[in-house]
């Protein structure tokens, strides 16, 4: 405790009251003068940041506010949809974070009082912070498709936040007749997990090939190119007849009317620019923006995403509030799980330094992203990033896609699946363990 | 050998200090290591099954591995791409970080009969360079016992196929092992390493 003035005393006293009321116990206490960090959102970014701040400086009080008791990882949820993984294996609770001394509060944040540095919640709590880390993920832009709103997702899932939506899509695929059509409407850029829709198509194709081989998958896409496209289409050719008359997967790109403009759940029809597409199972993945609270709190400005300074992830709009993960503009880093995890660690180090009046440390970031095409064939993309003093930059000559293209032999393909699963085991441990 | 290792490390550390003084923009060892542990596990102890643990790895072997990934001399889909993203100074910093971490043998299943045979094979062909069942970081090679089986399998496959170069000593020993016992012997070795034993004698 360095500078103890009246203002910080009041703040700390206030925080003690709020936290005690919230925890519903009087045993909760906060050391006088200790700094408070409130982390909003218990997904990949938020959980990692909360844990790492505590690991880096156990004198900082960290409160994580997250509505749900469990988080389902979006990564590997496509394996659940394809039937190669149990939903339970992508479900994570917060006991690991609690063991690191993180106070976990199941509540929903409704706003930020930036002047008084308070996080406001549905239950009426106001949590004081010296620094706040927001990791709100994405929200769906339902209004970009005619006839679409959140209630439609009960019959036409987006499954772009894992959990019940994932299980619903899986159940619909299992119930579908052989010879049915599955339509996947891919979102416009930028969106969470750029290779995700195409990995999903691969996983569904694998399920259909083995169980309902007369069925088809139609990918309707507003874009004219997509992440890992060469590797995906090579894999689809090898496994699912892509490019032949008998292809299980058809990709309709933006130039050919792939943009979905309307949806009718009663007739299970998607309206494209030129044609209507009727399907037995529809997975409509809409355009996205930063998680709702980001806009409410004023962290997005006039855009859909949160501008930040890349070595601290502090908002350029609201001081002392940091935004990480999919909601932030951290380009050239993609909106991926590993990016969120890596950004969270850089942010945690910056928050700890700033709260200790220290110098912001020089960051280092990485992204590693696997996509699984069959249980024996996976592909990946990776990049290492540095900080040039002004912005995040990809390291020249590094990273890129799985090399080899169609020269990859079966053993190399199978190894990438094993690496993907090892990646999953380790990153989830790193986030929640 | 121990002396030269110590000398090399001293040189490594002093060059690191010079580098960080010259340009203050090298991230801290911890910051750099944070980019590794998302895949390689907490402190470098992997949750497996195919990504290896790198905790406790000898600093020289760490640097050598990264250099071989950068040049493509050592094959690996992901590491050949990632290693190119780090400077020599950064790799040196990471190497000292991971060398200081405590290696925890992986918990995995093993076949008793195969492991028992593997122990004898290890003692005869491998122990001289990979002391204590391959758990001595001073040997400046990757950990063997307690390392994840699929990772060891990939490594042995690459060595035997000639995709990854063996040192002369290792090549002679491996050739002798294969000549005497066939390629199945490598499975026994892997089963032995899966036990996490720190000595081969039983």
Handedness of CA A96, A101, A102, A106 (dihedral sign): positive
Contacts of B150 in chain A (CB under 8 A): 418
- Do A126 and A223 lie in a common domain? no
The yes/no answer to whether this complex scores an ipTM above 0.95 is no
Segment A332-350 shows an average pLDDT of 98
A292 found inside a domain: yes
pLDDT band at B202 (very low <50, low <70, confident <90, very high): low
Assess contact for A105 and A119: CB atoms under 8 A.
Answer: no
- Do A263 and A385 lie in a common domain? no
> pTM of the prediction?
0.91
Contact check, Cβ <8 Å, B49/A422: yes
Q: Which of A284, A314, A335 is the last residue before a domain boundary?
A: A284
Contact check, Cβ <8 Å, B150/A418: yes
Assess contact for A193 and A138: CB atoms under 8 A.
Answer: no
Question: In this predicted structure, what is the pLDDT of residue B93?
Answer: 98
Contact check, Cβ <8 Å, A366/B35: yes
Backbone angles phi, psi at A347, to 5 degrees: -65, -45
**Residue span of the structural domain in which A129 resides:** 6-139+288-432
From the CB of residue A190, how many other CB atoms can be counted at a distance below 10 Å? Answer: 17
- Residues A258-303 have pLDDT tens digits of 999 999 999 999 999 999 999 999 999 999 999 999 999 999 999 9
Q: Enumerate the H helices of A214-266 as residue ranges.
A: 229-240
Domain count along chain A: 2
Residue carrying the six token digits 């130039």? A255
- Do A175 and A108 lie in a common domain? no
What CATH number is associated with residue A187? 3.50.50.60
A1 found inside a domain: no
- Do A201 and A231 lie in a common domain? yes
Distances, alpha carbon A401 to alpha carbons A202, A335, A367, A404, A409, in Å: 18, 16, 12, 9, 16
What span, in angstroms and rounded, lies between the C-alpha atoms of A289 and B165? 49
| Residue A216 three-state SS | strand
Name the residue in chain A with its Cα closest to that of B69: A398
Distance from CA of B128 to the nearest CA of A (A): 30
Q: Of the candidates B73, B44, B47, B71, which has an alpha carbon nearest to the alpha carbon of residue B59?
A: B44
Distance from CA of A423 to the nearest CA of B (A): 5
Contact check, Cβ <8 Å, A429/B24: no
- Do A202 and A243 lie in a common domain? yes
- Do A213 and A119 lie in a common domain? no
- Do A147 and A222 lie in a common domain? yes
- Residues A165-198 have pLDDT tens digits of 999 999 999 999 999 999 999 999 999 999 999 9
Contacts of A57 in chain B (CB under 8 A): none
A330 found inside a domain: yes
Q: Please, what is the Cα angle at A354 between A349 and A358, to 5 degrees?
A: 90
Dig out the tokens for A417 from the structure. 């699946």
What span, in angstroms and rounded, lies between the C-alpha atoms of B192 and A3? 58
Dig out the tokens for A174 from the structure. 């299992």
pLDDT of residue A52 exceeding 50: yes
Contact check, Cβ <8 Å, A425/B47: yes
Q: Of the candidates B43, B46, B47, which has an alpha carbon nearest to the alpha carbon of residue B29?
A: B43
**Consecutive H or E run containing A400:** strand A400-401
Which top CATH class is B112-200? mainly alpha
**A429/B contact by beta carbon, under 8 A:** yes
A73 found inside a domain: yes
Task: State the DSSP code for A146.
Answer: B
- Residues A212-268 have pLDDT tens digits of 999 999 999 999 999 999 999 999 999 999 999 999 999 999 999 999 999 999 999
Q: What is the mean pLDDT of chain B?
A: 89
Question: In this predicted structure, what is the pLDDT of residue B190?
Answer: 98
Question: In this predicted structure, what is the pLDDT of residue A357?
Answer: 77
Contacts of A342 in chain B (CB under 8 A): 34-35, 38
What CATH topology corresponds to B29-99?
Answer: Cytochrome Bc1 Complex; Chain D, domain 2 (1.10.760)
Distance from CA of B28 to the nearest CA of A (A): 7
- Do A37 and A98 lie in a common domain? yes
Query: Which of B26, B38, B50 faces A427 most closely, judged by CB atoms?
Result: B38
Residues of chain B with CATH 1.10.760.10: 29-99, 112-200
Contacts of A363 in chain B (CB under 8 A): 27, 31
Dig out the tokens for B40 from the structure. 């390689």
pLDDT of residue A358 exceeding 90: no
Polymer length in residues for chain B: 202
What span, in angstroms and rounded, lies between the C-alpha atoms of B117 and B115? 5
pLDDT band at B201 (very low <50, low <70, confident <90, very high): low
Question: In this predicted structure, what is the pLDDT of residue A32?
Answer: 56
Assess contact for A150 and A141: CB atoms under 8 A.
Answer: no
Segment A79-91 shows an average pLDDT of 98
Q: Please, what is the Cα angle at A384 between A379 and A385, to 5 degrees?
A: 140
pLDDT band at A22 (very low <50, low <70, confident <90, very high): very low
- Do A193 and A250 lie in a common domain? yes
pLDDT band at B25 (very low <50, low <70, confident <90, very high): confident
- Do A401 and A343 lie in a common domain? yes
**A426/B contact by beta carbon, under 8 A:** yes
Contact check, Cβ <8 Å, A425/B48: yes
Contact check, Cβ <8 Å, A361/B28: yes
- Residues B121-155 have pLDDT tens digits of 999 999 999 999 999 999 999 899 999 999 999 99
- Do A256 and A122 lie in a common domain? no
- Do A214 and A110 lie in a common domain? no
């Amino acid at each position: 405790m360095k500078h103890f003035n009246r203002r910080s005393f009041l703040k700390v006293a206030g925080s003690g009251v709020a936290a005690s009321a919230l925890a519903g116990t009087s045993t909760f206490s906060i050391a006088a003068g200790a700094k408070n960090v409130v982390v909003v959102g218990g997904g990949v970014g938020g959980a990692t940041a909360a844990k790492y701040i505590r690991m880096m400086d156990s004198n900082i009080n960290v409160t994580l506010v997250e509505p749900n008791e469990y988080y389902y990882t979006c990564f590997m949820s496509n394996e659940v949809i394809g039937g190669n993984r149990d939903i339970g294996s992508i479900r994570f609770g917060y006991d690991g974070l609690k063991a690191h001394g993180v106070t976990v509060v199941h509540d929903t944040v409704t706003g930020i009082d930036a002047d008084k540095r308070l996080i406001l919640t549905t239950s009426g709590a106001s949590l004081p912070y010296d620094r706040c880390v927001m990791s709100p993920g994405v929200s769906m832009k339902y209004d970009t498709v005619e006839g679409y709103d959140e209630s439609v997702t009960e019959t036409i899932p987006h499954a772009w936040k894992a959990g019940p939506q994932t299980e619903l899509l899986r159940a619909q695929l299992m119930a579908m007749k052989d010879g049915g059509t599955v339509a996947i409407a891919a979102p416009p850029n930028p969106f969470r997990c750029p290779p995700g829709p195409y990995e999903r198509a691969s996983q569904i194709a694998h399920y259909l090939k083995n169980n309902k081989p007369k069925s088809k998958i139609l990918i309707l896409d507003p874009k004219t190119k997509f992440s890992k496209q060469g590797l995906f289409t090579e894999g689809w050719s090898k496994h699912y007849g892509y490019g032949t008359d008998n292809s299980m997967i058809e990709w309709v790109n933006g130039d050919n009317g792939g943009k979905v403009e309307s949806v009718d759940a009663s007739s299970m029809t998607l309206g494209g620019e030129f044609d209507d597409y009727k399907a037995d199972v529809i997975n409509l993945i809409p355009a996205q923006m930063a998680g709702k609270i980001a806009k409410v709190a004023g962290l997005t400005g006039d855009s859909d995403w949160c501008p930040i300074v890349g070595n601290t992830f502090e908002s350029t709009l609201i001081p002392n509030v940091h935004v990480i993960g999919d909601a932030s503009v951290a380009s050239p880093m993609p909106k991926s799980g590993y990016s969120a995890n890596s950004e969270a660690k850089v942010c945690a180090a910056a928050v700890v330094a700033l709260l200790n009046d220290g110098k912001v440390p020089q960051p280092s970031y990485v992204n590693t992203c696997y996509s699984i095409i069959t249980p024996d064939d996976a592909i990946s993309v990776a990049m290492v990033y540095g900080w040039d003093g002004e912005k995040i930059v990809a390291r020249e000559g590094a990273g890129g896609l799985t090399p080899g293209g169609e020269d990859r032999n079966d053993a190399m393909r199978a190894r990438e699946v094993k690496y993907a699963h090892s990646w999953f085991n380790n990153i989830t441990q790193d986030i929640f363990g | 050998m121990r002396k030269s290792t110590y000398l090399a490390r001293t040189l490594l550390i002093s060059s690191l200090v010079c580098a960080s003084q010259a340009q203050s923009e090298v991230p801290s060892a911890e910051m750099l290591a944070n980019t590794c542990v998302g895949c390689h596990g907490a402190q470098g102890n992997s949750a497996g099954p195919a990504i290896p643990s790198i905790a406790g790895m000898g600093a020289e072997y760490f640097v050598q591995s990264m250099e071989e990934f950068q040049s493509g001399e050592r094959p690996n889909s992901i590491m050949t791409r990632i290693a190119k993203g780090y400077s020599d100074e950064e790799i040196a910093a990471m190497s000292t970080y991971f060398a200081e971490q405590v290696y925890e043998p992986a918990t995995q299943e093993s076949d008793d009969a195969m492991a028992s045979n593997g122990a004898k094979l290890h003692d005869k062909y491998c122990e001289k360079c990979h002391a204590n069942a391959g758990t001595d970081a001073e040997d400046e090679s990757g950990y063997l016992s307690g390392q994840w089986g699929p990772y060891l399998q990939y490594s042995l496959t690459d060595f035997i196929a000639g995709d990854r170069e063996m040192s002369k000593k290792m090549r002679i020993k491996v050739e002798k092992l294969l000549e005497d016992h066939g390629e199945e012997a490598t499975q026994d070795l892997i089963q032995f390493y899966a036990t996490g034993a720190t000595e081969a004698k039983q």
